[in-house]
């Protein structure tokens, strides 16, 4: 199961097409719409959580892009719960950006949020479940 | 006639501790002291060296007695927060193992499984004072007629809760790599293909048994720091193997000794007993253990003065050799190299990843140091030593 929070920006010509319906029907994906707006000049903006099998998910995204919809993944704000983190370092095996790194010689494990790409690999790799995904609620208001 | 070399007894050390005069240092500090002054002088200066380790340790669990119900019950199956406990002991006695997952856990059906909750988490929740759901079923007897108990309990409702770990504090452990072409998920953490990373799992120079390689001071009855409380070593752990190959300094070059330990969960702190979920592997418990080592003589000063440069372990392929049961060394590395951030392996630099917390290990060694300095913790003479080997002189 693969799931991501996405923002969709529809150009004027697609705003009235049943694209979400097609996502469900053609690609076997499920969705949860958090916000949907049509702006005065008829472009649309939507925030939704899209879930499904990873390959279907990727095909679905390709379909959206082929319609000229701008798709961005949003809201993945990764935080570390420092009360849960016990400073082992296991997460540094998977972190591709070096946001999680070991300070030597103290062997402290630090988290640099500015370097984090929100790839989420650390979330399941952390034995203490200290890495958490927070949705950026600012986008929904 | 040779001059009698310096020595002191545990009784003498305890006398100094009671008087608030004992000199206590951590194993990290002892390394520097011995390097600077040599073991003879260090032995005269230092009375006790404290060690520490904080790491996921499988082979952990707890004996719990949950008290009698009215009417009485002879529980035959018991679950705590949905995690099965072993109930084949007595009417209301159970053992909950750290690696037992929740009964309906999807395990590795979607690989790698997440193993979100298990025995280790139950133990941490109890220690943290949280409510845990206890479900017990029974077949009913004349003396224990009740068939089911379902209630929420906290640790204060339990008449007895003893952390009792059959194998902890491994003396040295492998350095794990993966030589296959896909990522694997192990109890040593995530291992990327083609030796993309090398994971290691002990606190090196701070690790208890690496500071007492022949178990001169650690044995049945040794009082220790466990889970934030005082507890004891109760004997050799399962898989205790003193016969592993050793370096000239006596330190094993691969996994060797282990200890069985116990401590009262009611006195523990959840900071030092934490449930863990190893991706694709299973649940476990991270346990904090600290052992004070008496500097009985220059020999003990030399042992406790061991540093990361002098402790070695073997690189093992967890992708191919290990699962086949054919683990063999692909090379030897020191803990100094492992802690530096990368090792040379097969002609390239491989990033190293610790899975045991050095920061927490040092914190434990310092807490124990404080306890001893304040006279709150006395050293013990083991009642029985751990099986050891003759020393190569
Ligand atoms: S793996 Fe988790 S507990 Fe360990 S250092 Fe990283 S964030 Fe902390
Ligand atoms: S989300 Fe990805 S980039 Fe961010 S800390 Fe975790 S592993 Fe590193």
- Separation CA B81–CA B68 (nearest Å): 19
Cα angle for residues B363, B365, B366 (degrees, 5° grid): 65
B388 is a domain residue = no
Active-site residues of B, by number, are: 143
- Among all bound ligands, the one having the nearest atom to the CA of B276 is 1
CB burial readout B127-153, b (16+ within 10 A) else e: bbeeebebbbbbeeeeebebeebeeeb
Average pLDDT of chain B is: 97
B201 is a domain residue = yes
- Separation CA A67–CA A23 (nearest Å): 12
Tokens read off for B128: 């943290």
B390 is a domain residue = no
Residue A35 has pLDDT above 90, yes or no: no
Q: Where are the domains of chain A?
A: 2-73, 77-134
Residue B4 near chain A (CB below 8 Å): no
Q: How far away is chain B from the Cα of A126, in angstroms, using its nearest Cα?
A: 8
- Of the candidates B54, B192, B284, which has its C-beta nearest A86's C-beta? B54
Least confident of A114-128, B134-148, B243-257: A114-128
HSE, CB side, 13 Å, CA atoms: give it for residue B225: 34
**Mean pLDDT for the stretch of residues B158-174:** 98
Domain spanning A2-73: which superfamily? ACT domain (3.30.70.260)
pLDDT-based confidence at residue A11 (cuts at 50, 70, 90): confident
pLDDT digits (tens, 9 = 90+) for A37-75: 877 777 888 888 888 888 898 899 899 888 888 887 776
In contact, B363 and B52? CB cutoff 8 Å = yes
- Separation CA B102–CA B283 (nearest Å): 9
Q: Is there a shared CATH topology between the A2-73 domain and the A77-134 domain?
A: yes
Atom 4 of ligand 1: nearest residue by CA position = A88
B68 is a domain residue = yes
pLDDT digits (tens, 9 = 90+) for B334-367: 999 999 999 999 999 999 999 999 999 999 999 9
For the domain spanning A77-134, the CATH number is: 3.30.70.20
- Closest ligand 1 atom to residue A89 Cα is 5
The count of structural domains within chain B is 1
CB contact under 8 A, A104 and B354: no
Nearest of B209, B211, B183, B210 to residue B197 by alpha carbon? B183
More confident residue, A136 or B329: B329
- ω before A105 within 30° of 0 (cis)? yes
- Separation CA B386–CA B218 (nearest Å): 7
B169 is a domain residue = yes
Ligand 1 lining (C-beta closer than 6 Å)? A 80, 85-91, 100, 109, 126-128, 130-131
User: What is the domain range of residue B118?
Assistant: 1-383
ipTM: 0.94
- Separation CA B53–CA B201 (nearest Å): 10
B20 is a domain residue = yes
- Separation CA B393–CA B299 (nearest Å): 12
Name chain B contacts of A85, Cβ cutoff 8 Å: none
More confident residue, A58 or A1: A58
More confident residue, B100 or A32: B100
B344 is a domain residue = yes
Residues near B323 by beta carbon (within 8 Å), at least 6 away in sequence: none
Tokens read off for B388: 């050891």
Other CB atoms within 10 A of residue A132 CB: 13
B46 is a domain residue = yes
């Amino acid at each position: 199961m693969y799931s991501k929070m996405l923002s969709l920006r529809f150009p004027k010509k697609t705003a009235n097409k049943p694209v979400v319906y097609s996502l469900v029907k053609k690609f076997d994906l499920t969705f949860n719409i958090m916000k949907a707006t049509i702006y005065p000049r008829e472009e649309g903006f939507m925030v939704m959580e899209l879930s499904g099998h990873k390959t279907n998910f990727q095909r679905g995204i390709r379909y959206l892009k082929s319609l000229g919809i701008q798709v961005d993944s949003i809201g993945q704000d990764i935080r570390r719960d420092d009360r849960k983190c016990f400073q082992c370092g296991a997460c540094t095996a998977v972190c591709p950006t070096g946001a999680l790194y070991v300070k030597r010689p103290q062997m402290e494990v630090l988290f640099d949020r500015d370097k984090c790409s929100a790839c989420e690999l650390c979330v399941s790799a952390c034995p203490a479940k200290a890495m958490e995904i927070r949705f950026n609620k600012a986008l929904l208001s | 006639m040779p001059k009698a070399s310096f020595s002191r007894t545990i009784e003498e050390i305890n006398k100094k501790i009671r008087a608030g005069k004992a000199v206590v240092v951590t194993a990290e500090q002892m390394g520097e002291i011995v390097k600077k002054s040599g073991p003879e002088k260090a032995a005269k200066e230092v009375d006790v060296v404290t060690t520490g380790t904080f790491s996921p340790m499988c082979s952990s669990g707890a004996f719990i007695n949950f008290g009698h119900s009215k009417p009485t019950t002879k529980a035959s199956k018991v679950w705590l927060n949905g995690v099965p406990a072993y109930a084949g002991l007595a009417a209301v006695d159970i053992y909950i193992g750290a690696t037992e997952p929740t009964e309906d856990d999807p395990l590795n059906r979607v690989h790698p499984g997440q193993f979100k909750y298990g025995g280790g988490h139950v133990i941490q929740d109890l220690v943290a004072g949280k409510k845990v759901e206890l479900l017990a079923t029974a077949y009913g007897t004349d003396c224990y007629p009740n068939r089911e108990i379902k209630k929420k309990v906290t640790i204060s409702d339990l008449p007895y809760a003893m952390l009792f770990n059959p194998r902890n504090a491994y003396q040295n452990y492998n350095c794990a790599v993966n030589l296959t072409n896909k990522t694997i998920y192990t109890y040593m953490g995530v291992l990327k293909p083609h030796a993309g990373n090398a994971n290691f799992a002990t606190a090196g120079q701070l690790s208890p048994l690496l500071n007492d390689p022949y178990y001169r001071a650690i044995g049945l009855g040794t009082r220790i720091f466990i889970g934030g409380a005082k507890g004891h070593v109760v004997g050799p752990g399962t898989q205790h193997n003193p016969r592993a190959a050793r370096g000239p300094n006596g330190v094993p070059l691969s996994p060797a000794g282990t200890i069985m330990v116990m401590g009262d969960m009611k006195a523990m702190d959840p900071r030092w007993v934490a449930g863990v979920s190893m991706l694709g592997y299973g649940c476990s418990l991270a346990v904090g253990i600290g052992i004070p080592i008496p500097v009985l003589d220059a020999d003990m000063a030399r042992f406790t003065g061991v540093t990361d440069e002098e402790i070695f372990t073997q690189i093992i392929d967890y992708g191919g050799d290990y699962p086949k049961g054919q683990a063999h060394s692909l090379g030897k590395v020191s803990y100094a190299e492992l802690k530096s951030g990368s090792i040379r392996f097969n002609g390239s630099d491989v990033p190293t990843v610790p899975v045991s917390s050095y920061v927490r290990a040092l914190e434990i060694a310092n807490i124990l140091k404080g306890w001893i300095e304040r006279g709150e913790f006395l050293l013990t003479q083991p009642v029985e030593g751990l099986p050891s080997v003759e020393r190569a002189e």
